[in-house]
Amino acid sequence: MTDRISKTREEWKKVLTPEQYEICINKGTEPPFSGKYCDSKENGVYKCVCCGEELFKSDTKFDSGSGWPSFWQPIADEKIEYVSDTSCGMVRTEVNCNKCGAHLGHVFDDGPKPTNQRYCINSVSLDLSKDKQ
């Protein structure tokens, strides 16, 4: 893996939209069923909107009914930073981009086989690089 990207909050504010900043840097979340990739069936690779790191392939995306794009595994486990999150009165595992630290969403143990994982990711934190046909 390449060196971790480190920027100040002010540097991130200059390169991200207010919505991207709120979700990726302030660890916010988009409303369910509002994200541009929630219902997307397009083929490609989902990258971190902050640094361009390739995170998820479209062939691991599934409809979880949760209102957020869901994947059953990342491209590689080392692409994701896992952090215990006890906010909102529950215990969850937050997932961040391991290259830049951007907040992506959370992972849960109620996904499909073969991993039984559901990476519940904010569309705002992703950029789809579509496969060329």
DSSP designation for 125: G
CA dihedral 27, 32, 14, 4 (to 10 degrees): 50
Please give the CATH architecture assigned to the domain spanning 9-130: Beta Complex (2.170)
Q: Is the pTM of this model over 0.75?
A: yes
Q: Is 120 considered catalytic here?
A: yes
Closest to 102 measured CA to CA, from 30, 2, 22: 22
Q: What is the pLDDT tens value at each position of the chain, 133 positions in all?
A: 458 899 999 999 999 999 999 999 999 999 999 999 999 999 999 999 999 999 999 999 999 999 999 999 999 999 999 999 888 788 899 999 999 999 999 999 999 999 999 999 999 999 999 976 4
- Collapsing DSSP states into helix, strand and coil, what is residue 41? coil
Write down the catalytic residue from 24, 38, 100, 120.
120
Task: State residue 34's pLDDT score.
Answer: 95
Q: Which residues contact 43 (CB under 8 A, 6 or more apart)?
A: 58, 59, 130, 131
Task: State residue 2's pLDDT score.
Answer: 56
